[in-house]
């Protein structure tokens, strides 16, 4: 695992977007998995800017959504689906058959997980996975105590995730479960990048990089990825 420190959030976002652009240029039908949340906002903006400025054909690229809040409709502005459509798929005109997101309203969530695992397998695996980190060290909705070998699964959300997660929604919302790609997918991906910015993330980044790997702090698994990177701004790196 390699840590790269950028001057600010914009530089971090631009560099992360370049990773996607570079991959799509080399492999137009690449499989890219992205987290939603506040951290990847800048990355999405930069991907859209670069694709347009450099006239890159991104139409063959496959996009996998990392996770979703169970029971939250995709039209809800706090859903992960809304994030992807609003910040990436619509600006880039990505066609529906290239978008693979969990249906968190399905009455067969385990079936949704199997479907996602099969899609990833059929597409030849994930080439690049870009994830954020939660205040409890989660990646996607892989909460503390998660089995590192899991593929897609449904999980009960940790208290911290339920509290912090309120920030995405217009009003208070009852959250209890998540559907997520597992850390098995992260480890199987050709390349994994964890991104974080801001002083609030400094402690979890320090734990990710410096503490012995333990499933009570899922992000530590980045240390084990053969092509794993932690991209942070100076604030998130401030206690490394
Ligand atoms: C969201 C996701 C979460 C977030 C994490 C950080 O799809 O998978 O694990 O990446 O909670 O969220 P932000 O970026 O909002 O601080």
pLDDT at 192: 99
Give residues (CB < 6 A) around ligand 1. Answer: 35-39, 66-67, 80, 132-134, 138-140
HSE (side-chain half, CA atoms, 13 Å) at 186: 33
The pTM of the full predicted model, rounded to 2 decimals, is 0.98
pLDDT in tens, 175-208: 999 999 999 999 999 999 999 999 999 999 999 9
Kindly name the residue from 19, 62, 67, 197 that is annotated as catalytic.
Answer: 67
pLDDT at 142: 98
pLDDT at 67: 98
Q: Is 198 exposed, middle or buried (0-12, 13-18, 19+ CB in 10 A)?
A: middle
- What the chain holds in terms of domains, given with CATH numbers, is 2-233 (3.40.50.1360)
pLDDT in tens, 111-137: 999 999 999 999 999 999 999 999 999
* Intervals of the chain under pLDDT 50: none
Kindly name the residue from 143, 153, 158, 197 that is annotated as catalytic.
Answer: 143
Q: Residues with Cβ < 8 Å from 73, sequence gap 6 or more?
A: 79, 105
């Amino acid at each position: 695992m390699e840590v790269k420190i950028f001057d600010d959030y914009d530089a971090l976002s631009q560099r992360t977007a370049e990773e996607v652009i570079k991959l799509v240029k080399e492999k137009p039908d690449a499989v890219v998995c992205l987290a939603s949340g506040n951290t990847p906002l800048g990355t999405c903006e930069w991907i859209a800017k670069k694709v347009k400025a450099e006239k890159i054909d991104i139409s063959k690229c496959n996009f996998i959504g990392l996770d979703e809040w169970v029971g939250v409709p995709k039209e809800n502005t706090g859903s992960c689906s809304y994030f992807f459509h609003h910040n990436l798929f619509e600006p880039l005109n990505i066609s529906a058959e290239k978008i693979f997101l969990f249906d968190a309203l399905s009455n067969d969530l385990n079936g949704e997980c199997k479907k996602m695992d099969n899609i990833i397998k059929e597409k030849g695996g994930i080439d690049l996975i870009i994830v954020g980190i939660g205040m409890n060290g989660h990646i996607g909705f892989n909460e503390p105590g998660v089995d590192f070998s899991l593929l897609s699964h449904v999980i009960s959300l940790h208290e911290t995730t339920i509290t912090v997660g309120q920030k995405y929604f217009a009003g208070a919302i009852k959250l209890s479960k998540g559907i997520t790609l597992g850390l098995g997918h992260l480890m199987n991906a050709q390349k994994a990048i964890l991104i974080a910015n801001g002083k609030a993330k400094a402690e979890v980044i320090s734990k990710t990089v410096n503490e012995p790997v333990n499933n009570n702090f899922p992000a530590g698994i980045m240390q084990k990825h053969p092509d794993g990177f932690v991209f942070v701004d100076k604030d998130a790196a401030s206690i490394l």
